[in-house]
Amino acid sequence: MKLFEMMINHKVNTITPDELLGLARQYNVKLTKDQASIICKVVAGKNINVFNKVERQKAIKQVADQTGLATANELEAIFQQLTANLK
């Protein structure tokens, strides 16, 4: 379980805009390339643990501050999909 959590957290913290757009399509979440770029700038290198609710919400708030609440909610939907099977 921890290995998968580590792999998911690593991917989130190093994801590129194109990879994020691919995940968004996979999970039927609507993101534009510009939104994906902003999200990646917010989460890149921050060592966010998406399994930790407080850390995840802090990242979501930062995204909301820069892109708006709708985009932050879309990111939360992706995080929920990524973490759903490992809780």
Closest to 47 in 3D by CA, of 85, 76, 5: 5
Is the per-residue pLDDT at 87 higher than 60? Answer: no
pLDDT the model gives residue 34: 94
Is the per-residue pLDDT at 57 higher than 90? Answer: yes
If you average pLDDT over every residue of the chain, what do you get?
90
Measure the CA–CA gap between 59 and 75, rounded to whole angstroms.
10
pLDDT-based confidence at 58, cuts 50/70/90? very high
pLDDT the model gives residue 2: 87
Measure the CA–CA gap between 6 and 4, rounded to whole angstroms.
5
Q: Is the pTM of this model over 0.75?
A: yes
What are the domain boundaries of the chain?
2-84
SS3 track for 35-50: HHHHHHHHHCCCCCCC
pLDDT the model gives residue 1: 67
